[in-house]
Amino acid sequence: SLALFGKTSLAAALLGLSLGAAAEPVEIKFSHVVAENTPKGQMALKFKELVETRLPGEYKVSVFPNSQLFGDNNELAALLLNDVQLVAPSLSKFERYTKKLQIFDLPFLFEDMAAVDRFQQSEAGQKLLNSMSRKGVVGLGYLHNGMKQFSANNPLSLPTDAQGKKFRIMPSDVIAAQFEVVGAIPVKKPFSEVFTLLQTRAIDGQENTWSNIYSKKFFEVQTHITESNHGVLDYMVVTSDTFWKSLPKDKRDVIKQSLDEAIALGNELALKKADEDRQLILDSKRVELVTLTPAQRQAWVNAMRPVWAKFEDKIGKDLIDAAEAANK
């Protein structure tokens, strides 16, 4: 029996050795708050596929959608604690880390997504990727979602229609000011709570992209959507300095390349979804579309444009000029 015991322990030791030799892949957790059938959701899955194909057995990407792992209130803090390695919050959610990105929230600044893209790819736009480096946040790239629309339980044709109404907003002082100038009441709430807030009528409306309004069914709990295209909702894919520097250079390059390709796919999808999801919402007949006349749209511009001056010092006049120049 001694011999048997010896053999067993030898086998166990060998098994242990061979298990030990095949090192566990390094896990990259990617957490986000939206559904999977969105530009960000699809980008994250593409990134996983590319990394795991190119670095098989070495790196593994776990994607957590729908605020499953972390939500708006804690994903950036979790990133800095290395509890998650990649997040892609909307540009409106970085205010505690930098005021520079407030540029993207200025109402009626960008004429369309092509202008947003030109600004992001410009020297000024690329510099903003490093605007949080002192806080340990590394910007790896921008990702598009699209232009924002207003939704509510009444038709918002003129700024006065928003008076006294409560709107859920992302945690951005610029967006808060944008609603305050038209006499509305902005309420900062995480994305994961928006559907219920609308459904229970705790709030009257919100602003978002066609893709988010569709994938989270906001259109089912609102009576009207105003096609305002008044602002942009885009993302910055970020990691922590600690995690990024911990990667060997050759692996980091593969991971960055994979991310760039995944972002390119996400951006293509963002453009497509803005049209497709808009159409799906209209086809559902659950909500009425408010189309602004040029004069009505101008009334919104006139009402909201004063917000720029309020934030000019913090954001910087030069940066605002550079963004405006991207309209061509």
Binding site for ligand LMR (CB under 6 A): 33-34, 90, 145, 170, 191, 208, 212, 233
Measured from the CB atom, the residue of 205 and 254 that comes closer to ligand LMR is: 205
Measured from the CB atom, the residue of 94 and 308 that comes closer to ligand LMR is: 94
AA identity, residue 159: P
Tell me if 166 sits within 8 A of 204, measured CB to CB: yes
Measured from the CB atom, the residue of 65 and 247 that comes closer to ligand LMR is: 65
Measured from the CB atom, the residue of 42 and 208 that comes closer to ligand LMR is: 208
Tokens of 256: 């960055």
Measured from the CB atom, the residue of 170 and 197 that comes closer to ligand LMR is: 170
Least distance in Å: CB of 145 to ligand LMR? 6
Measured from the CB atom, the residue of 159 and 231 that comes closer to ligand LMR is: 231
- Give the residues across from 30 on adjacent strands: 63, 86
Least distance in Å: CB of 208 to ligand LMR? 5
Least distance in Å: CB of 90 to ligand LMR? 3
Residues in CB range of 264: below 8 A, 6 or more apart: none
Measured from the CB atom, the residue of 59 and 219 that comes closer to ligand LMR is: 219
The per-residue b/e assignment along 64-98, b for 16 or more CB within 10 angstroms, e otherwise, is bbbbebbbbebbbebbbeeebbbbbbbbbbbbebb
Least distance in Å: CB of 305 to ligand LMR? 23
Least distance in Å: CB of 207 to ligand LMR? 8
Q: Please give the Cα distance from 238 to 136 (Å, whole number).
A: 10
Backbone angles phi and psi of 246, in degrees to 5: -75, -15
Tokens of 179: 């609603």
* 8-state DSSP, 90: B
Measured from the CB atom, the residue of 43 and 55 that comes closer to ligand LMR is: 43
Least distance in Å: CB of 198 to ligand LMR? 12
Tokens of 297: 């749209």
Least distance in Å: CB of 253 to ligand LMR? 27
Q: Please give the Cα distance from 17 to 179 (Å, whole number).
A: 63
Tokens of 202: 């705790």
Q: Please give the Cα distance from 112 to 104 (Å, whole number).
A: 12
Q: Please give the Cα distance from 102 to 165 (Å, whole number).
A: 24
Least distance in Å: CB of 317 to ligand LMR? 27
Tokens of 250: 């050759």
Q: Please give the Cα distance from 80 to 77 (Å, whole number).
A: 5
